[in-house]
Amino acid sequence: MNINFTYLPGDGIGPEVGAAAMAVLEAMAQKFGHTLETEEHLVGGAAIDALSSPLPDETYASCEKTGAILLGAVGGPKWDHLKGADRPELGSLLPLRKNLNLYANIRPCKPYPALLDRAPLKRERLEGTDFVVMRELTGGIYFGDKGRDEAGAYDVCRYSAMEVERIAVKAFDLAMQRKKKVTSVDKSNVLETSRLWRETVIKVAARYPEVELQHLLVDAMTMHMLTHAQDFDVILTENMFGDILTDEASVLAGSMGVIPSASLSDGSTGMYEPIHGSAPDIAGQGKANPLAMILSAAWMLRLSFGLDAEAASIEAGVEAALEAGQITGDLGGSLSTSQTGDWIAEYVKN
């Protein structure tokens, strides 16, 4: 099979973790008899420096053509002086999500046994945790009207019933494949958008009589996620709440460096990236943990190309690396970024 995708290394540690993931993908292709057809392009700060745009036309054209995007990370203090859509993140990630209709962001939380004792929470708080956050990604306050006037600043939060319905359908469909429970998170005691959210989710739930629906306010959820993590299966929420809750969930996994994410549209279009940032303070030092990037590549194989066995081989390689301690220093190992990628590549190949 010809696996055609767009590779965007990005900024900071992005190119380093990306190179490790590419080494693993090459090993996978060799093992399973596939061909990688990679279209590599600049994005974010690197694109600003080279081409004066965080999302050059050729980068977007490639993303639109392949419909499968593997992204490292964007941004860093070097570009903090820029405003609005001239910034790496606002000028690349948001338009990619919006224009490619990547409205469903999925982030898993299932702690690896090898990392249970590295997490800041007690082992008994973590064992048995296995949930997925389904975050709406193209609506809400991040995409509403924003600006300043003589009185101050404003950011408008707006949702349509259609936007809520389609992400809710994704969540309930996923729950049907898992433990058949959806926890919808909102702030319906205060926000009108959350009242619409809750009403719409209830209507969608009626189509899925087998799935249990639970509602939690976002402030309560921040507590329950850390104290009763095992209670959750699919957590459904809006854009800003999801942004915050998924970073909190990284504490349960033991490290932000092991969590991949997928931003999906309808069909096979998707963008795959680690949830961590560009970490410019360690860029170029070979210290960056590539596991989340490697797992994001596995998700791309599964969700955009339907290659379940190939994805599973990579995921098994990551778990084996963790069990064997063949990992970077942040997780207690002694390998560099590239050495970690090479170890997993060899595992996949053999």
Q: Would you call 322 exposed, middle or buried from its count of C-beta atoms within 10 A (0-12, 13-18, 19+)?
A: buried
Whole-number pLDDT of residue 236:
98
Mean pLDDT of successive 10-residue stretches along the chain, which has 350 residues: 98 98 98 98 98 98 98 97 93 95 95 88 90 97 94 97 98 96 98 98 98 98 96 98 93 88 94 95 97 98 96 97 96 96 97
Which residue segment(s) compose the domain that 85 sits in?
1-103+268-350
Is residue 110 one of the residues assigned to a domain? no
Q: Which residue, of 226, 253, 280, is where some domain finishes?
A: 253
Which residues have a catalytic role annotated?
142, 187, 219, 243, 247
Residues 129 and 198 in one domain: yes
CB 288 within 8 A of CB 282: yes
CATH of the domain at 137: 3.40.718.10
CB 99 within 8 A of CB 241: no
Residues 79 and 196 in one domain: no
Residues 222 and 330 in one domain: no
pTM (whole model) above 0.85:
yes
Q: Which residue, of 219, 253, 287, is where some domain finishes?
A: 253
Is residue 259 one of the residues assigned to a domain? no
Total residue count of the chain as it appears in this document:
350
Helices (H), 122-268: 123-126, 161-177, 192-205, 218-227, 239-253
d(CA 99, CA 83): 21
| Biggest alpha carbon–alpha carbon distance for the chain | 65
- Tokens (6 digits) for 258: 């092991």
